[in-house]
Structure 1
Amino acid sequence: MGSSGSSCSSCSSPVSSIKQSWREHPASSYSLKINKFSQLENHTAFSDHKYQSRLFSSGGYNWKLIVYPRGNVNDNGSGFISMYVELDSTSLTESSPTTEVFAELRFFVYNKKENKYFTIQDVEVKRFNALNMVRGLLKVLPYETFINPENGYIFEGGQCEFGVDVIVPPPLTNWEIVSFDEKLLSSPKFSWTVKNFSGLNEYVYKSDIFTMGGRKWGLMLYPKGDTRATGKFLSVFLHLADSETLKPDEKIFIQVHVRVLNPLGSCHVEKKLNSWYEKSNWALGWCNFFSLDEIRKAYLDKEDSLKVEAEFKVVSAIKYSTSI
């Protein structure tokens, strides 16, 4: 009777985090060279079948390299070379208030035949703390593969070499936290009444400076349009106040609705601005905000005033490190 099975194109086997490779460069944290591997095996028979190196320093902490020549039986590593590193317990107390250490581990076994180092690592960074002082790999190489001189790991009468890289990332010093303030003020609107609109002769007019989202802003209005508006459209821009000086690489995101109000209370002209301000003194907006003919027909009140309104929905804020 044949066996039955099923397959699914959306299903896949879990990707192993164990990666193997070869490299010419030896271990950078610690190297353990054995003159006669058989003697190491005999020695470890009286020390829980493992050899522990002397302490070595890496990343500001002290460690030991642990090798099980015939595998860590208690970790289901029988029949393999098992390798671990152990964090020295005094490293945690001496580095108070640190209570845990993160480290990337790479284990090496020298191969004389290839004249390279067999490299194996779990690409997941390991967490060391009071409850987990020892981390490593239980199946580095099959024992029979390692012990056969023809494979190159044992050479010149029993010599071999193990090594490890313990890579401890430095503390985080560069960071930023971006927040988008959607709860600005109870009245997140700024209103500007431009009087005697029909008689305005200046090229551009600026509103009073106002504060929204912890930043100072202003509106700019071109009553006859800026140079790109061909004299037929009103131009309106929102600018950062001169006192707002952005630091290098600093930027502000805003979401604001700008309106020209109809005196009758309906049919307001509205445009939405969703943009990043990336430089000081930036002005963003619209060259062709609205037809000047339409404004003269229906958007000036009895006193020849034009009312412009900016309603802020979002203003971003960034907290960042000061290491630069």
Structure 2
Amino acid sequence: MGSGSSVSTIVKNWREHPPSSYSLKIHNFSQINNSTTASSDGDKYQSRLFSSGGYNWRLIVYLKGNKKDNGSGFISMYVEIDSKSLMKLNPPTEVFAELRFFVYNKKENNYFTIQDLQVKPFSALKTVWGLQQVLPSNTFNNPKKGYIFEGDQCEFGVDVIVAPPLTNWEILSFNEKLPRPKFSWTVKNFSMLKEHFYNSDSFSKGGRKWILCLYPTGDSRADGKWLSVFLCLADTDGDKPKADENIFMQGHVRVLDPLGSNHVSGKMSDWHNESNTGWGWVKFLSLTQLRKRYLDKEDTLRLEIEFEVVSSTKHSPITI
């Protein structure tokens, strides 16, 4: 097998809209190109401070390339965060920012843009990030290419997009180890029930309160021939799902065989939310079967629900 290669995160494009954070326009480019201060880093020009995302920055342009950063033969461009800005943080920490560099092209009447899609962490240990090979020098310096225009002008720019700290979040977890996962409901004198439906007492499982809802002769869709069974979240203010909240429940509902050998079981795997707090079966068990073998000698029906999983969600507070 061949050796793997890293995927480049550098993206180049053209854009009509000018830079949003800072623009550096240079008149008499040849003069500044000859007068940039030579240093151990190479020839560079540092802009004035500008503000973006609540911090102060400088744009740094190496007109002859940053030789120490493999930039020979190219225009190199960087952004430096002002160290005083970092002192605003207590304790000092990293500032994450996306960088997009611009070079105006008069011939195209557009900005050549180049960016590294990786967000850069600025800190006291690393205050400068950028790109060492923005444009080949021979391309930039050729008047026919359009980067130097109207005699001897050029323009550089940058967008510094500061990533704000995370304030909106959600953590979804699934509790699969529920203590006492079963709830039993004994319905006495089943054949004498007159109401259309009956609710069990509320019970707590997975940090929520629930009820079983029983229709002795089925709900309106059961044609009076079926037992309908539903699991619902208890109808109390503290247990109703809030807006955009989803609660997952997985488990089994059973009508128990008095002889203990042939229970009728249905598997639930459903999401409960504000608009649908209950799930179940319109036709869980035919009344003919129920009367034949699922009522004991005292005319008692026994139901059981066993919870396997209940989800819970933690989230950031909503501010309006």
In structure 2, what is the Cα distance between the partners aligned to 1:231 and 1:31? 77
1:122 equivalenced with 2:116 (yes/no): yes
CA separation of 1:121 and 1:264: change in aligned 2, threshold 3 A: same
In structure 1, what is the Cα distance between the partners aligned to 2:127 and 2:243? 43
* TM superposition shift of 1:24: 1.5
What TM-score results when the alignment is normalised by the length of structure 1? Answer: 0.93
Range with bigger deviation, 40-49 or 163-172: 40-49
Structure 1 unaligned blocks of 5 or more: 1-5
Q: Which amino acid aligns with 2:163?
A: P
2:166 maps to 172
Match of 1:206 among 199, 202, 206: 199
**Is residue 240–residue 280 contact of structure 1 (8 Å, CA) maintained in 2?**
no
Match of 2:252 among 254, 257, 276: 257
In structure 2, what is the Cα distance between the partners aligned to 1:202 and 1:167? 64
In structure 2, what is the Cα distance between the partners aligned to 1:16 and 1:168? 22
2:81 maps to 87
User: What is the root-mean-square deviation of aligned Cα atoms in Å?
Assistant: 1.8
1:271 maps to 266
* TM superposition shift of 1:257: 0.7
Q: How does 1:23-38 map to 2 (within 5 A)?
A: 23-38=15-30
Match of 2:133 among 135, 139, 142: 139
1:101 maps to 95
Secondary structure at the aligned position of 1:144 is classed as helix
Q: Deviations over 1:251-303 (max 9, x none)?
A: 11111210011111221111011001112672210011012111111111121
Structure 2 unaligned blocks of 5 or more: none
2:224 maps to 231
* TM superposition shift of 1:45: 4.1
Secondary structure at the aligned position of 2:84 is classed as helix
Match of 1:39 among 11, 31, 50: 31
In structure 1, what is the Cα distance between the partners aligned to 2:110 and 2:159? 15
Secondary structure at the aligned position of 2:254 is classed as strand
**Is residue 241–residue 281 contact of structure 1 (8 Å, CA) maintained in 2?**
no
In structure 1, what is the Cα distance between the partners aligned to 2:205 and 2:278? 16
Q: Which amino acid aligns with 1:53?
A: S
* TM superposition shift of 1:156: 2.4
1:3 maps to none
Q: How does 1:301-316 map to 2 (within 5 A)?
A: 301-316=296-311
Q: Which amino acid aligns with 1:237?
A: F
In structure 2, what is the Cα distance between the partners aligned to 1:99 and 1:282? 44
In structure 2, what is the Cα distance between the partners aligned to 1:94 and 1:102? 15
**Is residue 104–residue 167 contact of structure 1 (8 Å, CA) maintained in 2?**
yes
Q: Which amino acid aligns with 1:235?
A: S
In structure 1, what is the Cα distance between the partners aligned to 2:252 and 2:71? 66
In structure 1, what is the Cα distance between the partners aligned to 2:217 and 2:243? 35
In structure 2, what is the Cα distance between the partners aligned to 1:313 and 1:280? 23
Match of 2:143 among 115, 140, 149: 149
2:64 maps to 70
2:285 maps to 290
Secondary structure at the aligned position of 1:145 is classed as helix
Q: Which amino acid aligns with 2:184?
A: S
* TM superposition shift of 1:101: 0.9
**Is residue 245–residue 280 contact of structure 1 (8 Å, CA) maintained in 2?**
no
Secondary structure at the aligned position of 2:235 is classed as coil
Q: Which amino acid aligns with 1:293?
A: T
In structure 2, what is the Cα distance between the partners aligned to 1:46 and 1:220? 83
In structure 1, what is the Cα distance between the partners aligned to 2:104 and 2:219? 73
Match of 2:157 among 159, 163, 169: 163
In structure 1, what is the Cα distance between the partners aligned to 2:265 and 2:251? 10
In structure 1, what is the Cα distance between the partners aligned to 2:129 and 2:165? 21
1:193 maps to 186
CA separation of 1:245 and 1:98: change in aligned 2, threshold 3 A: farther
- Percentage identity across paired residues of the two chains: 66
* TM superposition shift of 1:229: 1.3
Q: How does 1:5-16 map to 2 (within 5 A)?
A: 14-16=6-8
* TM superposition shift of 1:170: 2.1
1:20 equivalenced with 2:22 (yes/no): no
CA separation of 1:280 and 1:147: change in aligned 2, threshold 3 A: closer
Secondary structure at the aligned position of 2:140 is classed as helix
In structure 2, what is the Cα distance between the partners aligned to 1:199 and 1:323? 50
Secondary structure at the aligned position of 1:94 is classed as coil
* TM superposition shift of 1:203: 1.1
